[in-house]
Amino acid sequence: MNRAIFLDRDGVLDELVFYKSSGEWEAPRRLSDLQMIDVRASLQRLVDAGWLLFIVTNQPSHAKGKATRDDLETVHGEILRRLNGLITRSYVCFHQADDGCDCRKPSPRFLREAAQEFNIDLSQSWMVGDQDTDLACGRAAGTHVALVEHPRSANKRGAITPEVRGRNLDEVLAHLERTGV
């Protein structure tokens, strides 16, 4: 069976953006706001070591009326383009909490879907994110969980204790490489 690392997107692969209209640090709403975090080299090492990498992300800005669906698709497409060849598949929930969908994190649905399709042993896999919802998603799916302590999302975590934590994705991935978990 395969082992996977499920990556949250915003605050992990790309920078959170401050919007005056909401007064919050959020996912980029348009392409001009996108700033990637430099993680290509460490992702490449993990891929070379045999890990499958996935992105699992909630993108509710259109559902909340803050962005167009086109702009969100463009931003996501550009992130995939920058990570070309490293990401096996990405999973996006475009709903908001009130929609009652079953794909929005902390739902483990996308992780289970990936496990089925790509023959992944979830108990040997990791979910990595910067919010409690990411950790809850991994726990619900039966993966290990690691926390990226991005300073701009510190208010969205703290209730769940991860097995591994780091200041950024590089630190977290270095730990996984070292321990070979």
Residues binding Mg ion (CB under 5 A): 8, 10-11, 130
Active site residue 14: no
Q: How many residues does the chain have?
A: 181
Is 29 an interacting residue with respect to Zn ion (CB under 5 A)?
no
CB closer to Mg ion out of 35 and 123: 35
Task: Write the CB contacts of 78 (distance below 8 Å, at least 6 apart in sequence).
Answer: 31, 34
Annotation says 8 is catalytic? yes
- Count of CB atoms situated within 10 Å of the CB of 164: 18
- Residue 83-102 contact track with Zn ion, rule CB under 5 A, x = bound: ----------x-x-----x-
Closer residue to Zn ion (CB): 104 or 157: 104
Residue 158 in tokens: 């703290």
Burial annotation 77-111 (CB, 10 A radius, 16+ → b, else e): eebeeebeebbbbbbbbbbbeeeeeebbbbbbbbb
130 binds, among Mg ion, Zn ion, none (CB under 5 to 8 A by kind): Mg ion
Q: How far is the CB of 156 from Mg ion (least distance, A)?
A: 8
Q: Catalytic site residues?
A: 8, 10
